[in-house]
Amino acid sequence: MNKLITILGFAQKAGKIASGETATEQVINRKKACLVLVALDASAGTSAKFMELCLKNNIPVFNAGLKLELGNAIGRSPRSCIAFLDNGFARAAIEALKATTEV
């Protein structure tokens, strides 16, 4: 999870993150999102909504971290979802997520 938090911080500094439900939904609908992270403690409705949106738009989606952790990683208040807008950061995040699930 630490590597993912680092990647989120770098992506935020580079301006390649959309965070929060509204902003994330907008980039998904505009087909600009490369990867979506939904917090583990997000409501069932929020999780279902973003899983469905991402499936419909063929965007990878993962449940990762808590709202507080995701928000802190990008220097913001707690966030239930975050979208990566860059393929490089998205690939790095997916690798970090795979590494944490293999351990």
User: Could you report the per-residue pLDDT of 63-72, keeping only the tens digit for each?
Assistant: 999 999 999 9
Q: Would the pLDDT of 102 be above 70?
A: no
Q: Which of 94, 69, 88 is nearest to 19 (CA)?
A: 69
- Structural domains for the chain: 2-102 (3.30.1330.30)
Q: Which two tokens stand for residue 78?
A: 């707690």
In whole angstroms, give the CA distance from residue 46 to residue 54. 12
Q: Provide the β-strand partners of residue 61.
A: 36
Helix (H), strand (E), coil (C) string for 4-68: HHHHHHHHHHCCCEEECHHHHHHHHHCCCCCEEEECCCCCHHHHHHHHHHHHHCCCCEEECCCHH
In tens, the pLDDT along 23-36 reads 999 999 999 999 99
pLDDT at position 80: 96
